[in-house]
Structure 1
């Protein structure tokens, strides 16, 4: 090529090194790694025997290198005895990769995510609120209590009920439906005399601490109280399970947290947890969410609007429109959510002036 001998040697060396490096990266790392990802079990069966033999042969050399490395680190006064902890973000990233690869289901990833955040969720975001608690009057006889459970419960029968005198501020205990049936239907048997002691927990507990309470105590129903001792809600194992798995199949269609609508919207229950709503509507971030001002969809509407909304009032948040559909007194009962359709900007037409117009 008419090049000087030294320049030709340097050029040839550079080309050879570049070609070898490129070939090594493609055929020695990227292609085998991709094949291993596509066919993991088949690749493992083929690679395992030779790798076991190589590991056995090179074991003394590996041990020598590890010993030398430890000696150098010790001389540099670097402590590597404590293993590097795996962070929650790394686990989440691994789960996301597993979902993309088809090895992990999306609902499994969501459940692990919910478990990680269980310790960050207060009981107020998990419990059945005070206004929705079904309770029995302590002065009822068994027949009246069974009649209430079967026919007059607003949300259907439950397995356990708080027993109170006049209101929830005077809880006598709790009683199960099976115990009511065992007592018979005699009119002289008063249920207040056959209750078991109620278990009270403070509302300051987290979801993970509540899980430990349910695991160590025998109560199947626990009443949540505030700092003044006033009952604010109740917790059951089902409530904690739904915090991890999402909503379990409701007993009635109207009791569902979220019902899809034909027009692409959703009919949401006002008490639907905010995390569940974000997962259903695929919303990444909500206003003031990090400040912990609300735990439910109704709380979101109140926080954004800044006042108690009326029926038919609408708010906009994160490309969604929320319309208050039904009120239960002052409580927001049902909310309709549908995607916000923004009008596309009109194209700007620039007219070029002719030379005659310019002149």
Structure 2
């Protein structure tokens, strides 16, 4: 065989090996979601790729048979056709064989393996849909060989108890990773990223992290006069007020809407808190519900206001649909008083009742220790101090200093959080 003929054969073998190598990586790494989108847009070959990914044994067998056959054939050609010319050049058979092996192997590594696979990694889906039909044809041609090798591999995997079924289940962590990558690439805006993150967070956050706590509930006794009710409604402009017997929150009989009550007063009608036209039944929910479950409850009942009770049937707070949606909207909603105010690049003023999830996000932390044991930054301080906190008490954790700067009786009203400068 002449050197020119050998060169042509080696070129053909390199091209064939490059096609097979790129096809293997593209078909294996093509993303399921992207292929499904391509299929919906009319690319029928994307469905073939998806079907092949479900049962990859056949095309892997074809690829390995083809690559090994090409490699062996290239070695034979290199040894029989190229080595004699190199032997004349070097005058040594061993040196000629070594140089021939290095030349042929280097060409295959560079042009038949490295470059095609890098190209396939960056264009997996387009290459996969282009090569799937030829691969199906080769699978048909080499069906007997595939049956032998694939059957033997399946039997061995079954004996050692290893599953080879491809798992493409999408988890919440996968979605978070995709969102983060999209935000970094600029595909998803910061506000959109924050909104999607909040929606997923609703499944993890409990209703007590958002509720208006018991001490802030404004309610009326059934015996309150109209003048007293009007005065409170003017001073406390809420939409809904609970109505209780014996001035006790554990004896709630319903709630009244300020708009309806004040409208009746302005029309100079005889009004009473127990009037069935004004008093509406209250929705009670347990304090163990997640925000997503609360939203589903509001949707199924048509309510937008609920009373939260604990396992001892004690009222711990109230929540409205607006409270839930404020968590979803997050930074897109401007509050009159921000619970977290950044003073400098390394310090924040934080309200004591701020949910711990909001604190973690604002400070850029991964987590706080044993966060399942508390829901607010005040709870974090009490848990870490192991006592009733007082002014000037502080906790240091993960390069942050949490210092109490204001209290009201036993309640933490404000903290100063400072991040230490990194010392190199």
Kept in 2: contact 1:274–1:295 (CA 8 A): yes
Where 1:211 maps in the other structure, the secondary structure is helix
Match of 1:315 in 2: 395
Match of 2:373 in 1: 293
1:13 and 2:101 equivalent?
yes
Task: Give TM-score scaled by structure 2 length.
Answer: 0.65
Kept in 1: contact 2:255–2:279 (CA 8 A): yes
Q: In the alignment, which of 300, 304, 313 is matched to residue 216 of structure 1?
A: 300
Task: Give TM-score scaled by structure 1 length.
Answer: 0.75
1:57 to partner: Cα distance: 6.8
Written as runs of structure 1 = structure 2, the 5 A alignment for 1:166-245 is 166-185=247-266, 186=268, 188-193=270-275, 194-245=278-329
Unaligned runs of 5+ in 1: 38-43, 346-359
Where 2:390 maps in the other structure, the secondary structure is coil
Where 2:405 maps in the other structure, the secondary structure is strand
Where 1:119 maps in the other structure, the secondary structure is coil
Alpha-carbon distance in 2 for matches of 1:146, 1:331? 30
Match of 1:326 in 2: 406
Q: 1:227 to 1:248 in 2, by over 3 A?
A: farther
Alpha-carbon distance in 2 for matches of 1:52, 1:204? 49
Match of 1:352 in 2: none
Per-residue displacement from partner, 1:12-43 (whole Å, max 9, x unpaired)? 23333323322455643435755x69xxxxxx
Q: 1:2 to 1:243 in 2, by over 3 A?
A: same
Higher alpha-carbon deviation: 83-92 or 223-232:
83-92
Figure out how many residues of one structure are paired with residues of the other and give that number: 325
C-alpha RMSD of the superposition: 3.6
Match of 2:223 in 1: 139
1:63 to partner: Cα distance: 7.9
Kept in 1: contact 2:191–2:331 (CA 8 A): no
Alpha-carbon distance in 1 for matches of 2:119, 2:349? 49
Alpha-carbon distance in 1 for matches of 2:218, 2:331? 20
Unaligned runs of 5+ in 2: 1-88
1:125 and 2:186 equivalent?
no
Match of 1:282 in 2: 364
Match of 2:83 in 1: none
Alpha-carbon distance in 1 for matches of 2:141, 2:212? 62
Per-residue displacement from partner, 1:213-243 (whole Å, max 9, x unpaired)? 1121122111111122110111222332234
Alpha-carbon distance in 1 for matches of 2:313, 2:143? 61
1:258 to partner: Cα distance: 0.7
Alpha-carbon distance in 2 for matches of 1:161, 1:22? 76
More helix by percentage:
2
Higher alpha-carbon deviation: 111-120 or 303-312:
111-120
Per-residue displacement from partner, 1:170-192 (whole Å, max 9, x unpaired)? 21212223322432334841233
Q: 1:144 to 1:25 in 2, by over 3 A?
A: farther
Where 1:295 maps in the other structure, the secondary structure is coil
Alpha-carbon distance in 2 for matches of 1:307, 1:248? 37
1:130 to partner: Cα distance: 1.1
Per-residue displacement from partner, 1:126-169 (whole Å, max 9, x unpaired)? 3222112233343345554343233x22xxx2322222241322
Alpha-carbon distance in 2 for matches of 1:146, 1:325? 37
Where 1:336 maps in the other structure, the secondary structure is strand
Per-residue displacement from partner, 1:302-349 (whole Å, max 9, x unpaired)? 11111122223222222111221222221111112121247x59xxxx
1:106 to partner: Cα distance: 4.2
